[in-house]
Amino acid sequence: MNRSASPRTRTHRARAAILGAGLCLLPIACSKPAPPPPSGAGSRAVSAVSPSANGPTGWIASAGAEHWLSPTAAFALDPDQSLLPGLAPEGMHVGFETIVTIEHSGRYRFGAEVEGGAATLSLQPPAGPARQSALKPGDNLSWSDWVQLDTGYVAVSISFTRDGNAKARLRPLWEMAPAGADGFRAEPIPSRLARVPAAAEADTAKAQQVARGRLLLGQLGCVNCHDAPGGATAERAAPNLADIAQRAGAAWMLKWISVPQLMNPGCGMPDVVGDSPEAIAEAQAIVAFLESLAPATDWPAPATEDAVLTAGKTLYESIGCIACHGAPVSKNNTEWSPRVPFGDLTGKWNPAALAAYLREPHLNRPSGRMPSLLLTEQESDQLATYLAHEWGPGSGERPDSTPEQVAQGRAAFTSRGCVNCHDLGDLTPGADIKPLSGLDDTAGCLNPDDALTPRYAISAEDAEALRAAIKIISTWDSTFPAPLDHAALAIESLNCIACHEWHEQGGVSPAIRDKFETQNDVDLGDEGRLPPRLAGVGWKLTSQWLIQVLGDGARARPYMNARMPVFASPHAPALVDELAQTDGVWPGSDAREPESNDRMVQAGLKLVGDGGLNCIACHAFADKPPVGLPGPNIAQFGERLRYDWFKRYIHAPPRFKPGTRMPSFFLTGQSPITTVLAGDTDKQTDAMWDYFSLGELFMPTPEGVMAEGGMALQVKDRPMVLRTFLKGVGSRGIAIGFPRACTSATTPPPRASPTPGPASFSTPPGPGRGGEGTSSVARGQPSGQRRRARSSLPASNPPSGATPRRPTTEATSSTRMVPPPSCPASAR
Amino acid sequence: MNRAAEFAVIAVLAASPALAQEIGFGDVPYEKLATREATEQSMMTKLARQMDVEWGPWYLLSPFPGNDSDGSLVRPLPPEDELPRMAAGGPGPDLTRVYEGKSGLTPKWTELGPDDDRAVDLRVFNDEELNTNAIAFLYRTVTAPASGKFDLAMGSDDGLEFWLNGRLLVQADQPRSMDPEAHHIALDLQKGVNHILCKVSQGNGSWEYLLNRRHELNPFDDAKLQACLNRDFPTPEQPFYTLETIPIPNDIVLEVGGLAALADGRLGVSTRRGDIYFVDYNGTSGGSIFAPIYSRFASGLHEALGLAARTEQGRQVLYAVQRGELTRLVDLDGDDRCDVYEAYCDSWGVSGNYHEFAFGPKFDAEGNAWVSLNVGFCGSLGKSIAPYRGWIGKVTPRGEFIPIADGARSPNGIGILPTGEVFYVDNQGDYVGTNRMSLVAPGLWEGHPSSLRWRDGLAGFAKEPQRQRATIWFPYQKMGQSTADITVDSTAGKFGPFAGQIFVGDQMNAAVYRVTLEKIGDIWQGACYPFRAGGDCGVNRIVFDAEGSMLIGETDRGWGSMGRKRYGIQRIKWTGKTPFEIHTMSAVPGGFELQFTQDIDTKSAADPASYAMTSYTYEYHQTYGSDEMETQRPTITGAAVVGPRTVRLTVAGLRSGGEGFVHELHAEGVRDATGAPLLHAAAYYTLQKAPG
């Protein structure tokens, strides 16, 4: 069966603890411990074929002396691109190893799509010989032979040697026979079933350490001072200080310049000035200098109305802020450690400036790490009010300053090195600072006793990671563009994993999951309220859609409260292509799409409508919402999805989206709709794709797309009664529509009290579209007594809607309950 | 059932008119082609009266002043002076004429072009005032090669008047939103040019008109055609159990919430929209399966998700469950219309949350009506906001609600065995790994914690109860995604070999599954099996009628399901031919015993290689649903034929206890005495307690 079964511990997601107090960065790939081997007909786990007990999912990759972690062993490289910055593209030779979990005994085969090089695949089951096969280059898939594997593990390794500097691509796949019953069709090996071998633990630890160090080099801004080769890290520009004095309170600035590591341990701003008595004067001078850069501005008193604060708090907790930042006051994060805690922000923000910043964060922070959540003006005001209230108010008061102080401050700004990170245009960097390669890694910032260099609160472990990274970078003679490497750095530095699970790491912390909700409480489970997993996103989504998502606010899940931000980061545009390359597909490409003709499009149209697979029951179509639980919009499929992904996904959705509500229509290998294209699932898949490809402008409306407006009831010439939830009346309301007048509503005895009712009322059609009449909680007390009050309602069977004794084929109208036009306006 | 009885039943059925029926379509002959698809297409073209015509482009004339609240749609406007010119074959309106319109404008006919099967959006002005309180005219020609009828539908937002060849066919003067099937009409087209004029009023908001040429049969022809196609292109299950659609007229929305077989042979149907209909499909007063007669008995109920019929003092009385009340409905004067709606019991809470459904009633031998109550859903978690939500209880003949068990989440189905035990089915969600059937008895807690709060102060309910485990797990997707209803086969053989067994429906797969139960020690457990797939829509309710046929009621509003339709009723009838099936899978020491419905071929049945088994369990946790966990492959070490229809399997690696281990058996290699394979080779046994 194509169920994604897994051994018992899968649901216990142990999150690794943060190393060091309050560090804002998680080490990469600290995911849950390996499951015990699935017990089967004897546990035959041999030490060579066992996964690392605490290691990460994915593959361990090696080239020369360097090792790194690859989630899928897939890649797609243009000429002159490499897998690592320091690895020459020409004749690149790389090996990947992993332990794959076999969940069901059966016949398997492994293979890969290979381009631009020669590859060898090796399989080592727990018992028996290893099998090797050469995978030939070319567009076609290359497979090993079928092999019988039992539940347990199998070691897989692939080595690849590039043909000169050619375009090179590798995408490992696997398949289990027979498809449709227990087996599955060819698909990329899911990273959740791949884990680094126990034998490679040392290399893995080293790789993780280097990766951590390289990340820190960017996050802590080391490379802003120490020149590093391109690609060494993902650079991070520091905030723009040209108008800081208009945003931040002077008292806070003074403190921040002095002891930032005390206020926000582990953040990217080092202690430079310190808080000794001599240092205070220097700090004040720097503040004076900064204030001289920007004229005074209004500092409005923050609003204090409960309604605004509540609205701000609701926004903060529901649209996603909380996932990166945690609680506004950092010490309130008791159950988890967010990656970007605020630290001490008491008195920092000018509320008006904060609201403006939230709307356009890239103006102040060119690094783009703080993205825009497409807030309206009202929303940013509410958020700013709430945050300012939580942090504590500041004031726009500026201390007096003298021109000497300003000059002193300007000098200090250069001499202390502030200008290396905080570019101010007209100031040039001062001191002669060594480049990163060949740096003495026991001196300077990494020497705990050297007070003359910037002080970062780095743990011993992180210091070792930095040293390891510097060592590796120092070995790079020349550097080359390495798209996958850059993508991995970007995903961590832009903090995607605070919300999105990326190959078993990250995702919304369990401590705050309950804050993530859907609009109108649609019952979609986690699929509807948590941001989607990103594994395979480059394979699934088109480049043109990803660009819109990252840069333009395009959304596929309007029912989710959490918002996908828009990233103005310099790393974001490249990420679109890099995500595809990480999945081993050429950016902007797709598998050869099926031939489209009228017959196929018509077949696809029928399948999508309510005479076929009834996709429209759940998936919205253009601007028409679905009746049931909402799914992404059909009209967007052609522009969003890649055919290569769709044709695999549709056959077994739970394999690609564990826990999805999407049914497996083709579970048995046969389509339930036998009358379209003779029930052939491949042809039906192609037909649906041909229909999607027409795009929103040209695709005809599927049959059965629901009329809007719920189901209003129309009164004709006899009164009509409806029991329903009625706003303002209760959950046991009786609404009565009279032909000449309007509705009135009453609760059943004993509290019968007729009240004027709404002009029209309807039954909610489905859970996603709460109709009118959802009332507030009515607390009925359970009664053990007899309740057989006789109802005095008249027989209410208006002929409208009731069928005559003879079946008819003509209906005049569907049942409605709306006052006829003759109803006087005042009575409504 | 033994052979003699089987023959007797076949004889009875053969004599009945139902088997001998020839399905006719009036003057249209039924013609079977090579494939089902081709046959269906060809018949639909012949039956749906939609000859090949040529549609002219739309012309728009707008805006005219209007105001929906004073009936201005029906007040004639100057363009209607041209109606005489729009007689059949006539010249049509003067397209160059200029009119006096709204706000001083002078509208003229403007060509819009073809409509590509989409609604015409009439908000063509950039001015809010012109798009509000206005009236627009649409005109087009349709040229027919011959005279004849043409069926189509239409809808508009807001009101509509529609003329064909100068004759008013539709008048709907009301504010409303677009319903593509608001009006079903047959156009009487004349050979040559025909003229269509539409007048569409606008209050505010959307303003559109749709000429819906969707190719659709009327429900009666559709049901008959499907029956012919099923007969001529049968699925594997068809030769044993036929599946017929009972057609529903277009103006009845029969989203089935409850079914009850009435004493006079009719079917009582309660709907989610609050109506109760009586359906004569079986000759009670002239209705038949493809020409049923509907009469509406009651209306206005608040989502009637269950119906039962009783005889009290010689008179038929109906009981329906609404969200907040068990209602007793009585027809005092015998005119088939309900005269009394009695609030029989409303002693449970309903807060207004959309998911607070109420299911039932199922009557036990003492005359208590059992009901079950859905919890509310907030986010994706069930919450028992109002009293007794998540509880199952019974209402005594005196109208008193007695709470019995709690911990249910979405208990859409109660079943009472002839021996008195009560079971219910629950749906996958938080704290429910996959759909399951569980025992109900006083004081039991079924697992969902939110309803525990109502135990306070109730005698006989422990504060921290033990958790009742599943009796039957329905593995997700393989055995449905949303189990509904529990119905015992009480037909004593008229419905085939499964007398006494239990049937459940599935609201996603539009299928019916079968369940067998047994008691090992004091633990109820058993197996589920596929039975009949291919329903028109998600199956929500199941009853048997006096003839021994199964009636299924369907709806999928709110979640979508497989199937061609969005609601309906169908009849499943045993043809008299017994399928080769696993009749019962029961647990024996060391393995399982399989009882088959036909004599088996000893060689294949005794070969362990004919069988394959996996076992797995589900986890109890808050997260929505559970994967199959701890999957293993128990080995079938022996298969012993112990009777002409019985095999005993010895299995190594059986697991029991915990949440119950599903032992999924596939008997692909077994053959019956004639060499035929099993109709359904799968069976899923939930082992809580291993015998011996």
pLDDT at B116: 67
Are B392 and B279 within one domain? Answer: yes
Task: Decide the pairing of beta strands B241-246 and A59-63.
Answer: unpaired
The predicted model gives B641-669 an average pLDDT of 96
CATH topology of domain A598-698: Cytochrome Bc1 Complex; Chain D, domain 2 (1.10.760)
The one-letter amino acid code at A163 reads: D
Containing H/E element for A701?
none
Q: How far is B372 from chain A (nearest CA, A)?
A: 15
pLDDT at A740: 64
- B2 within some domain: no
A407/A739 Cα distance (integer angstroms): 85
- B32 within some domain: no
- B268 within some domain: yes
Asked whether the beta carbons of residue B301 and residue A723 sit closer than 8 angstroms, the reply is: yes
Of A639 and A37, the structure prediction assigns the larger pLDDT to: A639
- B21 within some domain: no
pLDDT at A180: 59
Are B553 and B466 within one domain? Answer: yes
Give the CA-trace dihedral at B285, B288, B292, B293, to 10 degrees. -10
Cβ atoms A723, A732 nearer than 8 A: yes
- B18 within some domain: no
Of B67 and A563, the structure prediction assigns the larger pLDDT to: A563
| Sequence-distant (≥ 6) Cβ neighbours of residue A760 within 8 angstroms | A712, A713, A743, A817, A818, A819
Tell me which of B116, B564, B619 to substitute to probe the interface with A (most A C-beta atoms closer than 10 Å): B564
Are B197 and B254 within one domain? Answer: no
What phi, psi does B73 have (nearest 5°)? -60, -40
A179 pLDDT tier (thresholds 50, 70, 90): low
What phi, psi does A279 have (nearest 5°)? -70, -30
Containing H/E element for A594?
none
Asked whether the beta carbons of residue A787 and residue B399 sit closer than 8 angstroms, the reply is: yes
Asked whether the beta carbons of residue A813 and residue B117 sit closer than 8 angstroms, the reply is: no
pLDDT digits (tens, 9 = 90+) for B414-456: 999 999 999 999 999 999 999 999 999 999 999 999 999 999 9
Residue A794 has pLDDT above 60, yes or no: no
Instruction: Give the count of alpha carbons within 13 A of A823, CB side only.
Output: 25
- The CATH number given to whatever domain includes residue B628 is 2.60.40.1220
Tokens of B242: 């036929």
Are B244 and B172 within one domain? Answer: no
Cis peptide before A79 (omega within 30 of 0): no
B143/B55 Cα distance (integer angstroms): 6
Among A331-345, A477-491, A769-783, B575-589, the range of highest mean pLDDT:
B575-589
Q: In Å, what is the CA distance from B447 to each residue of A205, B409, B465, B467, B523?
A: 43, 8, 10, 6, 17
Residue A151 has pLDDT above 90, yes or no: no
The predicted model gives B85-91 an average pLDDT of 92
Helix, strand, or coil here: B537?
Answer: coil
Got the DSSP string for A496-557? Answer: GGGTSEETTEE-S-GGGGGG--BGGG---THHHHSPPP-TTHHHHB-HHHHHHHHHH---S-
Q: In Å, what is the CA distance from B164 to each residue of B66, B121, B557?
A: 23, 21, 35
Q: Give domain limits for chain A.
A: 8-196, 208-237+423-474, 483-510+526-582, 598-698, 709-776+811-828
B-chain residues within 8 Å CB-CB of A810? 184-186, 250
Single out the residue of A451, A647, A636 nearest to residue A539, CA to CA: A647
Q: Quote the crossing angle between the two packed helices A201-219 and A483-493, to the nearest 10°.
A: 70
Residue B632 has pLDDT above 50, yes or no: yes
Task: Decide the pairing of beta strands B682-687 and B523-532.
Answer: antiparallel
B374/B358 Cα distance (integer angstroms): 6
Q: In Å, what is the CA distance from A400 to each residue of A276, A298, A699, A747?
A: 21, 17, 68, 70
| CATH annotation of A483-510+526-582 | 1.10.760
B-chain residues within 8 Å CB-CB of A614? 556, 560-563
Are B570 and B588 within one domain? Answer: no
Are B349 and B243 within one domain? Answer: yes
Range of the domain at B681: 582-687
Instruction: Give the count of alpha carbons within 13 A of A508, CB side only.
Output: 23
Among A405-414, B455-464, B670-679, the range of highest mean pLDDT:
B670-679
Cβ atoms A691, A601 nearer than 8 A: yes
CA A820, distance to chain mean position in Å, is: 50
Q: In Å, what is the CA distance from A83 to each residue of A160, B452, B569?
A: 12, 57, 61
B-chain residues within 8 Å CB-CB of A8? 619, 629-630
B508/A662 Cα distance (integer angstroms): 11
- Neighbour-count burial for B44-55, b at 16+ CB within 10 Å, e otherwise: beebbbbeebee
Q: Do domains A483-510+526-582 and A598-698 have the same CATH topology?
A: yes
B-chain residues within 8 Å CB-CB of A813? 172, 182-183, 251
Domain end position, chosen among B527, B557, B574: B574
- B312 within some domain: yes
CA A86, distance to chain mean position in Å, is: 30
Domain end position, chosen among B540, B574, B608: B574
**Four-way CATH pick for A8-196: 3.30.70.3270, 1.10.540.10, 2.60.120.380, 2.60.40.1220:** 2.60.120.380
Of B576 and A714, the structure prediction assigns the larger pLDDT to: B576
Which of B175, B251, B628 is the closest to A803 by Cβ? B251
Beta-bridge partner residues of B613: B665
pLDDT digits (tens, 9 = 90+) for A314-361: 999 999 999 999 999 988 888 888 999 999 999 999 989 999 999 999
How many structural domains compose chain B? 3
Angle at A285 between CA A283 and CA A289, to 5 degrees: 120
A339/A341 Cα distance (integer angstroms): 6
Of B432 and A235, the structure prediction assigns the larger pLDDT to: B432
A803/A790 Cα distance (integer angstroms): 28
Residue A165 has pLDDT above 60, yes or no: yes
- The number of residues in chain A equals 828
Of B100 and A439, the structure prediction assigns the larger pLDDT to: B100
Q: How far is B565 from chain A (nearest CA, A)?
A: 6
- Neighbour-count burial for B117-131, b at 16+ CB within 10 Å, e otherwise: eebbebbebeeeebb
Residue A711 has pLDDT above 70, yes or no: no
Angle at B331 between CA B327 and CA B336, to 5 degrees: 115
Residue A4 has pLDDT above 50, yes or no: no
A-chain residues within 8 Å CB-CB of B632? 38-40, 151
pLDDT at A33: 42
B285/A718 Cα distance (integer angstroms): 27
> Residue A317, by phi and psi: left (phi above 0), alpha (psi -120 to 50) or beta?
alpha
The predicted model gives B39-56 an average pLDDT of 85
Residue A384 has pLDDT above 50, yes or no: yes
Are B186 and B319 within one domain? Answer: no
- Contacts A–B by Cβ distance under 8 A: 330
Give the CA-trace dihedral at B95, B99, B103, B109, to 10 degrees. 0
Single out the residue of A716, A720, A715 nearest to residue A734, CA to CA: A720
Tokens of A625: 């919402």
Asked whether the beta carbons of residue B386 and residue A780 sit closer than 8 angstroms, the reply is: yes
Which of these ranges, A435-439, A631-635, B544-548, has the smallest mean pLDDT?
Answer: A435-439
Are B325 and B360 within one domain? Answer: yes
Whether the CA torsion B20, B26, B32, B36 is positive or negative: it is: negative
A138 pLDDT tier (thresholds 50, 70, 90): low
Cβ atoms A731, A746 nearer than 8 A: no
Which of A1, A700, A785 is the closest to B478 by Cβ? A1
pLDDT digits (tens, 9 = 90+) for B333-343: 999 999 999 99
pLDDT digits (tens, 9 = 90+) for A268-311: 899 888 778 888 999 999 999 999 998 888 888 878 889 999 99
Are B624 and B652 within one domain? Answer: yes
Mean pLDDT of chain B: 91
Asked whether the beta carbons of residue B564 and residue A778 sit closer than 8 angstroms, the reply is: no
The predicted model gives A39-67 an average pLDDT of 71
Are B502 and B552 within one domain? Answer: yes
- The CATH number given to whatever domain includes residue B366 is 2.120.10.30
Helix, strand, or coil here: B529?
Answer: strand
Residue B59 has pLDDT above 80, yes or no: yes
- B559 within some domain: yes
Residue B537 has pLDDT above 70, yes or no: yes
A421/A239 Cα distance (integer angstroms): 8
Report H helices in B269-378: none
Are B254 and B204 within one domain? Answer: no
Tell me which of A184, A614, A729, A781 to substitute to probe the interface with B (most B C-beta atoms closer than 10 Å): A614
User: What percent of chain A is predicted at pLDDT more than 90?
Assistant: 42
Asked whether the beta carbons of residue A807 and residue B117 sit closer than 8 angstroms, the reply is: no
Are B561 and B682 within one domain? Answer: no
Q: How far is A5 from chain B (nearest CA, A)?
A: 5
Task: Decide the pairing of beta strands A168-177 and A75-77.
Answer: antiparallel
pLDDT at B225: 94
- B228 within some domain: no
Helix, strand, or coil here: B203?
Answer: coil
pLDDT digits (tens, 9 = 90+) for A244-261: 989 999 999 999 999 999
Single out the residue of A67, A66, A55, A62 nearest to residue A191, CA to CA: A55
